[in-house]
Structure 1
Amino acid sequence: MSSLIVISVLAIVILYLGLFKVKSGLMPVAVLGLLLALGFSVAEWNKGVSPIFSGMMLFDNFAVAFSSLCIGITALIFLLSRGYFEKISQHLAEYYTIMLFSLAGCIMMVSYNNLAMLFVGLEIMSVSLYILAGIKKKDFGSNEAALKYFLMGAFSTGFLLFGIALIYGASGTFNLQEIANYVSDPENIIDPIFYAGLTLMIVGLVFKVGAAPFHFWTPDVYEGAPTLITAFMSTVVKIAGFAAFLRIFQTSFAHLSTFWIPVLTTITVLTLFVGNLTALYQNHFKRLLAYSSISHAGYMLFAIVALGPASSNAIFIYALAYALASVVAFGVLILVETKKGSDAIESFNGLSKTNPFLALALTVAMLSFAGIPLTAGFIGKFYMFSTALSQSHIWLVAIAVLNAIVAMYYYFKVIIAMYFKEADGVAEVKVSTFYRIVLGLGLVLTILLGIYPSCLTTLF
């Protein structure tokens, strides 16, 4: 709870700093505030269940872990913002403030214990993102991204809200534990509208995490939005979405698994094939990462399809590995795009010669995305597949392994461009201190977690 208060107050402080034209202090204050919030969040670990607002929110270890991850990744993204926002807008405070409000919504999504709070958190996060996607008012791509995201987001929110209403109508409660009691009580005959509500909720949540067949907004929004905003959406927002997804299914709907597992299994398979096969044909790095994000949504759905005691741990490890690789990839993309004026994969040609450090960092990120051993991505996939195998989803794991092999092609396409193709020019890509810190930290953590994953395997 303390971390949520700190982030909300921090957003207002940043807004006032912008009002008084203290531009140079925005990024340091934002990062220091996030580190303070992170400290408060970690301090709540193993403090027991802390329900607040009459039990509408619950800060247990699950909420603490995913909140801390969201805060930490946001801090890394803010460190990459030095010099970036200044180039696209004069109103810097608004970027930080709206991102912090979106982060506050994400924290509500990972700690809700009431469907009303899920909706409130989701809307705080989503409305902030609608603004951030279209914040470059004179850029047609940004305007298109905001419009598409707003229209499809509002449409999916309608599905989710209607689903919540039907579940309330059947069970008479918004509380997750009380819904679970309604579902598990052998004396209850579950109302058919409850199943309809559950189906509508699946549609709404699947849209928010960018899984097929509700993924159509993802490539255009990722491409049109400012790159740092895209990095935030593909990491923090996706982590919060999956944490919210897992919490309600693990708490309330576990006894109805025979109903929803076939639905989510179909969505998972479709997501894997759509994401990976479409990524094969992408010639622009940003769209490649967008379709890669769709495929990773498919892998993370494993934790829900194979719901069990290990699901929380598996999805946390995978989310951490994916977020670290994404931050590094988007960080390198910003530098290359600024230097070359394009995000085409050809822009990375010869990067190993013009900046070996950037090439190394991006190579490790691509290998982690692909799930190559000795990277965090491999550990994430290993635990996801182990979770699925423990629930006898053998054929699903076989499909996932096939897709992982397909994905290697487009990830290695970037590596080949950096090391085996000649650069158009010989100008060095310069890297600022903050970028070196973030990329170096992402690089080290990705390798360390790949070699020594034991520190995370027994969190929950």
Structure 2
Amino acid sequence: MNLLIAITGLGVLCLMFEIFNLRKALVPLVILGLLGALALDISEYDAIIKSNNNMITVNNFSVAFSGLFIILTIFLVALSHNFYEKHQTKISDYIAIKVFMLAGCVALVSFQNLAMFFLGIEVLSISLYILAASNRLNAKSNEAGMKYFLMGSFASGVLLFGICLIYGAIGSFDMAVIEEAGMSAAVEEWFYIGIILVSIGLLFKIAAVPFHFWAPDVYQGAPALTTATMSTIGKVTAMAAFFKLATVMNVNLPEAQSVIVVVSMLSMTVGNIMALRQANVKRMLAFSGVSHAGFLLMTLLGNDNPPATLLYYSASYALAGIAAFSVILYVCKNRDNEDIVNFNGLGKSNPLLAAILTGALLSMAGIPVFAGFFAKLMLFGQVISAGHIALVIVAVVNSIISVGYYFKLILAMYTKEANEARPGTPVLLYATAIISLSLNIAMGLFPSVVLDLLT
């Protein structure tokens, strides 16, 4: 609870900077504030704290994922300095929205009550709706914001209807009562219907097939930094909340695992096949995110410390995403689109950023030395031990397919001639790209540092 209060206070402070015209100090002070929040989060490790009538429970799961969310938000705030340089009068609003969004993310891994869960997911969703439509003079941004708002509102309605059915069946929002009901054979039938509806709402949030149709258009139309936010912290948060709900509910539905296997297979296959056809980098990464949603869903099937595997995979994917989007922001600045042709010759004109983008894409594809390889290796081992060999075969085939579209971008950087020189060396952008990829490589070399957090 202390972490939520601190983050919310930092968000209010961001708005105060606008009042006192301290915009130049905004980014460094917010980063310092987030580092303080990270220290506060670390101080609660190995403690179990229940507060507000068991609405929120702090444990190692919530502390580990909250730490990841704070680190990702620090990177996103750092990228904001260069991205919003033409909108200095609104930068405090944009950063404040990201900080408030972080509060929703923390609530989604700390909840012990479905009311707090819904509050967290709405804070996250509303922040992303606003950010998606934040470029109000751009028709594509307006379209992306409206499309995401309408589809997201529908998903939230389905999710809320599911929560109502669960409450109607057992008379409580408390997760401990729900866990007991999930193991009972005497619970009302609409309890299971409620769980199915809640699951559908969350599958929409993580853009898993067949609830992924909004992602390509929204990712392409939204401002690039908003796309980075949705594809990293947005997706990872929704998956962490889904994992927590799935493990607590522990429902006696024999078909549940079969459904997860089918959705996972479809997400990986549809995402990768559609990504092969894309010429726009943001749209390609949208379909890549759909395929990674399939891999993330596989963590629900593991039987050997799946929370640690989910944390490791989420961190490796999100850090690679931050590194990739840092380069995309640099290359596509002041351009009308994010097509692959914009990256032609980047290996010659800017070898450092080309190497960073290559490393990020190789991590997403699951190539050693990067953390993405070890994340998939551990995930496949757990799923095989759980008896889902066919799913692992499909996952391996899809990992090979993904190399095709990632290398399409890599080849454009190193084999094509540059379109034009790209002046300027934005320090925060370079620092974010280098640090995020370095953390990804460090996770690959020392995976136990992250895995031991949830042992």
Q: Sort the TM-score into its range (normalised by shorter chain).
A: over 0.9
Aligned mates of 2:337, 2:156 — CA distance in 1:
34
Q: Does 1:211 align with 2:205?
A: no
Deviation per CA, 1:274-327, whole angstroms, max 9, x where unpaired? Answer: 1100000000111111111111111000011x1535210111000100011100
TM-score, normalised with respect to structure 2: 0.97
- Residue 216 of structure 2 aligns to a residue whose secondary structure is helix
- Residue among 409, 413, 431 paired with 1:414: 409
| Partner residue in 2 for 1:15 | 15
Q: Does 1:191 align with 2:185?
A: no
Q: Is the 8 A contact 2:104 2:121 kept in 1?
A: yes
| Partner residue in 2 for 1:295 | 291
- Residue 86 of structure 2 aligns to a residue whose secondary structure is helix
CA RMSD of aligned residues (A): 1.4
- TM-fit CA distance, 1:161: 0.7
Deviation per CA, 1:365-419, whole angstroms, max 9, x where unpaired? Answer: 0100100011010011112212211211100000011111110000011111111
Distance change in 2, residues 1:423/1:412 (3 Å): same
| Partner residue in 1 for 2:235 | 238
| Partner residue in 1 for 2:167 | 168
- Residue among 306, 313, 316 paired with 2:308: 313
Q: Is the 8 A contact 2:80 2:95 kept in 1?
A: no
- TM-fit CA distance, 1:88: 4.5
Aligned mates of 1:195, 1:93 — CA distance in 2:
44
Q: Does 1:357 align with 2:356?
A: no
Aligned mates of 2:422, 2:144 — CA distance in 1:
32
Supply the AA of the counterpart residue of 1:116. Answer: A
- Residue among 261, 264, 271 paired with 1:265: 261
Q: Does 1:153 align with 2:152?
A: yes
Deviation per CA, 1:69-105, whole angstroms, max 9, x where unpaired? Answer: 0010110111111121122563111101111111111
Q: List 4+ stretches of structure 1 deviating above 6 A.
A: none
| Partner residue in 2 for 1:438 | 432
- Residue 448 of structure 2 aligns to a residue whose secondary structure is helix
- TM-fit CA distance, 1:442: 1.7
- Residue 374 of structure 1 aligns to a residue whose secondary structure is coil
- Residue 90 of structure 1 aligns to a residue whose secondary structure is helix
Q: Is the 8 A contact 2:317 2:372 kept in 1?
A: yes
Which piece of structure 1 moves more, 324-333 or 335-344?
335-344
- Residue 277 of structure 2 aligns to a residue whose secondary structure is coil
Distance change in 2, residues 1:72/1:257 (3 Å): farther
| Partner residue in 1 for 2:383 | 388
Matches within 5 A, 1:39-438: 39-47=39-47, 49-88=48-87, 90-185=89-184, 188-253=185-250, 255-304=251-300, 306-338=301-333, 342-425=337-420, 427-438=421-432
Q: Does 1:453 align with 2:447?
A: yes
- TM-fit CA distance, 1:423: 1.3
- TM-fit CA distance, 1:257: 5.0
Supply the AA of the counterpart residue of 2:160. Answer: L
The runs of 5 or more residues in structure 2 that have no matched partner are none
- Residue 254 of structure 2 aligns to a residue whose secondary structure is helix
Distance change in 2, residues 1:325/1:388 (3 Å): same
- Residue 91 of structure 1 aligns to a residue whose secondary structure is helix
Deviation per CA, 1:10-31, whole angstroms, max 9, x where unpaired? Answer: 1111101112222101111211
Supply the AA of the counterpart residue of 1:24. Answer: K
Aligned mates of 2:448, 2:257 — CA distance in 1:
30
Which piece of structure 1 moves more, 405-414 or 194-203?
194-203
| Partner residue in 2 for 1:28 | 28
Deviation per CA, 1:37-59, whole angstroms, max 9, x where unpaired? Answer: 11100111112x11111111111
The runs of 5 or more residues in structure 1 that have no matched partner are none
Supply the AA of the counterpart residue of 2:187. Answer: I
Instruction: Give percent identity, aligned residues only.
Output: 41
Deviation per CA, 1:322-377, whole angstroms, max 9, x where unpaired? Answer: 01110011000010001665411111111111011001100100100100011010
- TM-fit CA distance, 1:132: 1.1
Aligned mates of 2:367, 2:411 — CA distance in 1:
16
Q: Is the 8 A contact 2:304 2:382 kept in 1?
A: no
Supply the AA of the counterpart residue of 2:248. Answer: T
Supply the AA of the counterpart residue of 2:321. Answer: S
Aligned mates of 1:208, 1:100 — CA distance in 2:
19
Supply the AA of the counterpart residue of 1:413. Answer: K
Supply the AA of the counterpart residue of 2:243. Answer: L
Q: Is the 8 A contact 1:355 1:429 kept in 2?
A: no
Distance change in 2, residues 1:139/1:118 (3 Å): same
Aligned mates of 1:226, 1:428 — CA distance in 2:
20
TM-score, normalised with respect to structure 1: 0.96
Aligned mates of 1:361, 1:446 — CA distance in 2:
11
Supply the AA of the counterpart residue of 2:378. Answer: Y
Supply the AA of the counterpart residue of 2:218. Answer: V
Q: How many residues align?
A: 454
- TM-fit CA distance, 1:436: 2.1
- Residue 301 of structure 1 aligns to a residue whose secondary structure is helix
- TM-fit CA distance, 1:259: 3.3
